[in-house]
Amino acid sequence: MFKRKSFYPLALSSLLIISILCAFSLTNKDSFNYAKQEIMLRKIGHELLLQAGDSTSRVLPIKMLGENEYQITFENEFTFRPDSLVGIVKRSLAKHTLKENYVVNVLNCAEKEVVYGFVILKDKKDDIIACSGREQPKSCYFINIKFQESGISNTQKGYLLGGLPLLAFVGLLISAKVNVREPKPTSNNIIIGKMLFNPIARTITISQKTTNLTIKENKLLLIFSKSPNMIIERSRLQKEIWEDEGVIVGRSLDVFVSRLRKKMENEPNLQLINIHNKGYKLQVH
């Protein structure tokens, strides 16, 4: 029969493995998308140079300015017509189904001032395109393209995926704690409440902490364990524990019960109760 307590570590371990695989998968996906965007942006730069009559100079490596912002830079100076730039960018991004909302700014290299810019939105009537017919002078330019953020960001993914292993780890700790509270019996162990009593080894184990018992403490607990929630008379306890010694000291029983009670104090479900003028009872809740 499948026990529910054995299910928790399995389920939480599976959650941990899945979260790691998801993190790995999303990281690979992000890397692939960035590589795809980089190639497309370089192609935009290449077509822009061809429009300017330059078929030999290089488009320099794409720079990532932010999570959704990129910069195209060029080896040489060039001139461009704004309407040609708008057409190249729109065709390239639409053809490869990249993000639909974006802002394009052309800056001069020296002053880093915006000399031309436009906005493309999914709803075409909201596009902002100005001065499209005015040719720009030959100069050093770089082009910034900023895409609108959509859905969960990479940073948020990081927080989310970082939290899953943490939750799984906390769950495993809770599961471990639950297992501690439910000790498993063996042939030598007696379960009393949530305490393991091993009369052969003369030990008790509470929350994975094992404590040794003296011979008389062990005898006392063995008697109590056989009759939980029942009053055991003082005379019976004294006789069974001290009968081999021939001499019984009246207060000895109370001393050993007190010591045993002290060793069991971390198990709140067990109480050694003194029944006035009668004896003791091991109360199991």
pTM: 0.44
For residue 261, the enclosing domain spans 190-284
Q: How open is the CA angle 85-89-91, to the nearest 5 degrees?
A: 120
d(CA 100, CA 120): 7
Is residue 152 assigned to a domain? Answer: no
Q: Are residues 115 and 239 in the same domain?
A: no
Q: Are residues 242 and 130 in the same domain?
A: no
Is residue 159 assigned to a domain? Answer: no
Torsion of CA 225, 230, 235, 237, to 10 degrees: 10
DSSP assigned state of 128: E
Q: Are residues 126 and 195 in the same domain?
A: no
Q: Of 117, 147, 177, which one is at a domain's C-terminal end?
A: 147
Q: Are residues 228 and 104 in the same domain?
A: no
Q: Are residues 138 and 66 in the same domain?
A: yes
Q: Which pairs from 42-49 meet CB under 8 Å and 24+ separation?
A: 42/72, 43/92, 44/72, 44/88, 44/89, 44/92, 44/143, 45/72, 45/74, 45/143, 47/88, 47/92, 48/78, 48/80, 48/84, 48/85, 48/88, 48/143, 49/74, 49/78
Report how many domains make up the chain. 2
Q: pLDDT tens-digit profile of 147-176?
A: 887 554 555 555 555 555 555 555 555 555
In the prediction, which pLDDT does 22 show?
55
Q: Are residues 140 and 63 in the same domain?
A: yes
Is residue 157 assigned to a domain? Answer: no
62: left (phi over 0), alpha (psi -120 to 50) or beta: beta
Q: Is the pLDDT of residue 110 over 50?
A: yes
- Mean pLDDT, to the nearest integer, of 7-20? 59
**Domain CATH code at residue 238:** 1.10.10.10
Q: Are residues 118 and 238 in the same domain?
A: no
Q: Are residues 200 and 124 in the same domain?
A: no
Q: pLDDT tens-digit profile of 53-106?
A: 898 999 998 888 887 888 999 999 999 888 888 888 888 887 765 567 888 999
Q: pLDDT tens-digit profile of 197-222?
A: 999 999 999 999 999 999 999 999 99
